[in-house]
Structure 1
Amino acid sequence: MHIIKIGLPKSGNFWLHTILHNIIDYSSIKYESFIQNQPIYEIAKTWDVNQVKEQVNINFLDITRNSVSYRIGNIFRYPVDDLDDYIHSSTLVWTHSQMSDSVLKIIKKFDKLIYIIRDPRDVLVSWSNFVFSPYMQRFYPFLIVDETNPESYLINNLTTIISDWMNHVGGYLKHQKYLNIHFVFYERLLDDFDLELEKY
């Protein structure tokens, strides 16, 4: 079984990833990890960045028009030379990649596709706070160079963030039936975890 979990940043991705990982651990599915077999893995476990410590074990895939890369947080990125090997070496993969022809071609190779959706207002607030976190200030300081606080960032980037949400979510919704994508709603997980979980 090879699962890809998809979602826009700040939509509950880490929470859903943890849920899926726990389900795999308690099932008869053998867990395999591409990243844990890469030379960078042991080095990455020593990095003194709290945000990354949680991400070291995640098989994270970036897909663009011209490249496919695996990465650890926003610190390490490397091209995937053999995509089929990457998929077959990973039980659970995470991506934020926006729908495109390249993404479509790749994600349909997975056995199960799960997309998490969060209310765009909550994504907006969460992202506006996240860009001011020590992690983002260290690795993405240019995002807030002209901003003073999360509130001003939210006001100045409202249209862009909401547009990104619409394009990302809409791009996957358009292919829901063709790809048999299972959509999970962040708010439903909060309101009735067991009921939403039963839908997996």
Structure 2
Amino acid sequence: MNILQVSAPKSGSFWLNTILKKSLEQAGEEISYYIKTRPEYATLKQEKLSFKNQARTDMLDIDDNGVAFRVSSLLKEPVPNMQDYSQEASLAWTHSTWCQKTAEVFAFFDRKACIVRDPRDTALSAAKFAFTPYMQKHYPSPYNSIEEFFSAEYERLLEQWVWFYGNYLLHSGELDLHFVFYENLLKSFPKEYESLLKYLNLDLSEEEKKNIASEVSFSSMKEENPRHLHKGKSRKWVDGLSIDQIERAAIKAGPLMRIIGYPISPGEGDKLPAMPLDIPKKELEEILSKIDWKGLY
């Protein structure tokens, strides 16, 4: 079995990757890596990147012009043959938004799992991450502080979130896409994990599930990857955003947040998100039609 994980940056990507990896290992599924077949890997694996074994991660960039594999900012080349790639990369990862080549590329993978996080928390996390040593070295920011970054990029990040997840929700049926929620992993891990295992068709014992839950707890992962992980909390936006910023999120991302089940205001409480049973395609198409997506990337 090969898996493609899908996520917007700073939405719990590394967490999902760790869960998938440990689940496959526990189930006795062999994990192979395309990047290891490349001659550059011997040098790249010596680099100190954002998280442990990042150079070993099979990262895909997908757009209308083609598909590329990359390692951080150090290497990016076109995938020579997707069939060969998908056979070597049993656990690939993409941050790419939906495009005309998405369905074609996704078809090479048996399972596709997409992690979602509240857009306000994602934006706050992205602003902080932009000023980590790793990001300053590999993707330097033009801004002078976290606050300046957030002020300038907040609305763009909200619209990127809507475009990214709105499109993947709209096309989820044809892509056979399973959604995992960051907040649900925090608040109700066994239930969210069980749903993921069912989609992956992996059968683990209760003891094995408990062991993995312990191994992928935020404290355990942060100990091994302090450069990439911080606090691992939800609802940071309640205290981290001003009333005006919360209202801007309601305007920019509120319609899609409502569909998914995220609270729009602090007064709605700590309710957990869920994908709708029936995809409101017309509503999604209307939401997406209002976004000038080319200006977002």
Please indicate the TM-score interval, normalised by the length of the shorter structure. Answer: over 0.9
Q: 1:130 and 1:109 mapped to 2: Cα distance?
A: 32
Contact 2:55 / 2:71 at 8 angstroms: preserved in 1? yes
Deviation at 1:152, TM superposition (A): 1.9
For structure 2, the 5+ residue unaligned runs are 197-297
Partner of 1:195: 191
Three-state SS of the structure 1 residue aligned to 2:161 is helix
**Comparing both chains, which one has the higher relative contact order based on Cα–Cα distances under 8 Å and sequence gaps of 6 or more?**
1
For residues 170 and 65 of structure 1, what CA distance do their matches in structure 2 show? 18
Counterpart contact for 2:45–2:53, Cα < 8 Å: no
Residue 167 of structure 2 aligns with an amino acid whose one-letter code is: G
Q: RMSD of aligned C-alpha atoms?
A: 1.3
- Give the gaps of 5 or more residues in structure 1: none
Cα displacement (A) at 1:74: 2.1
> Which consecutive aligned stretches of 4+ in structure 1 deviate over 2 angstroms post-superposition?
none
SS at match of 2:158: helix
Deviation track 1:21-76 (CA, whole Å, cap 9, x = no partner) reads 000111132222111221111111112x2316431111111112112111112221
Match of 1:181 among 155, 159, 177: 177
Q: 2:157 matched to which residue of 1?
A: 161
Give the direction of change, closer, same or farther, for the CA distance of 1:50–1:81 in structure 2 (3 Å limit).
Answer: closer
CA distance in 1 between counterparts of 2:152 and 2:89 reads: 39
- Corresponding residue for 1:83? 82
Amino acid in structure 2 at the alignment position of 1:115: C
> 2-side partners of 1:92 and 1:124: how far apart?
26
- TM, length-normalised to structure 1: 0.93
Percent identity of equivalent pairs: 35
Distance 2:76 2:175 in 1: 27
Give 2:133's aligned residue.
134
- Does residue 120 (structure 1) correspond to residue 116 (structure 2)? The answer is no
The one-letter amino acid paired with 1:102 is K
Asked whether 1:21 is paired with 2:21, we answer yes
Q: CA deviation at 1:148?
A: 2.3
Point out the structure with the larger strand share.
1
Number of matched pairs: 196
Instruction: Provide the rounded CA distance (Å) in 1 between the counterparts of 2:161 and 2:53.
Output: 25
Q: Where do 1:21-170 residues align within 5 Å?
A: 21-47=21-47, 49-51=48-50, 53-141=52-140, 144-145=141-142, 147-170=143-166
Return the offset for 1:173: 0.4
